[in-house]
């Protein structure tokens, strides 16, 4: 069974913590170290960011980490080289999150094959339209047992949410706000209403919230009506300040 599906079925009442980080940041060879530390400290899933020069949905923290990662020489090929033996030491679900252009340049079938060979379980591609996925790429994803993860926002219509739910096989990425990643405030009434409204739709796929999760309070609020939450910018700030040595303290502060 795909590791994402397995994780979602384990301990039905458990709230999942997923961490996003940019491959090649802060140091070019940190990828495996970070993955091992996150697993050791009880993280449930990890999204490995494939750096891109024009990350439209990302706030300044993730944008800067992508710039540095690219300056560090991170490429799609180098990431797969780093992940070659990752399943010897890391068994939690791993996803790659990135924009479609680098994947297209690498070759979609080739990219998906390498994901399968290295043990990647799913892909989050924010700028890949659902219709394009279903028309051109669904069969490739299925061939290599890669789960597609699609994003919804507070502005997404109920009709579209249900279409995304039908096309999804793991979880739905519930973007907490229409803004870019890395917001500094907490969640207001409108966001809590949004979490509640979508959770009442009784979708077949669980919801995992991203954007704006940075501490215990925001994690608790985000997961009060959903299966889990994703932390990205706040974790990258932690890496910027303390490197890989502070990962344990950061994770323990969230739950």
> Which are the catalytic amino acids?
47, 58
**CB count in 10 Å sphere of residue 240:** 14
| DSSP characters over 21-57 | EETT-SSTT-HHHHHHHHHHTT--EEEEE---S--TT
**DSSP for residue 123:** E
CB 17 within 8 A of CB 234: no
Residue with tokens 């540095």: 68
Between the alpha carbon of residue 214 and those of residues 20, 26, 147, the distances in Å are 12, 19, 26
């Amino acid at each position: 069974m795909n590791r994402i599906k397995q994780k979602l079925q384990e301990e039905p009442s458990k709230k999942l913590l997923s961490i996003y980080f940019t491959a090649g940041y802060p140091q070019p060879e940190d990828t495996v170290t970070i993955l091992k530390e996150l697993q050791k400290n009880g993280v449930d899933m990890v999204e490995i960011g494939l750096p891109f020069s024009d990350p439209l949905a990302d706030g300044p923290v993730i944008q800067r980490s992508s710039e540095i990662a690219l300056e560090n020489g991170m490429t799609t090929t180098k990431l797969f080289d780093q992940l070659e033996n990752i399943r010897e030491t890391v068994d939690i679900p791993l996803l790659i999150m990135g924009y479609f252009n680098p994947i297209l340049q690498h070759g979609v079938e080739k990219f998906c094959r390498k994901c399968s060979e290295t043990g990647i379980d799913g892909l989050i591609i924010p700028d890949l339209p659902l219709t394009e996925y279903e028309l051109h790429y669904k069969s490739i994803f299925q061939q290599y047992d890669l789960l597609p993860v699609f994003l919804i926002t507070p502005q997404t219509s109920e009709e579209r949410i249900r279409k995304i739910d039908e096309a999804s096989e793991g979880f739905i990425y519930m973007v907490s706000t229409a803004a870019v990643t890395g917001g500094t405030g907490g969640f207001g009434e409108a966001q809590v209403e949004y979490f509640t409204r979508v959770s009442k739709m009784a979708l077949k796929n669980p919801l995992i919230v991203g954007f704006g999760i940075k501490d215990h309070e925001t994690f608790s609020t985000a997961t009060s009506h959903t299966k889990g939450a994703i932390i990205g910018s706040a974790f990258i700030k932690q890496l910027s300040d303390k490197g890989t040595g502070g990962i344990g303290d950061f994770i323990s502060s969230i739950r």
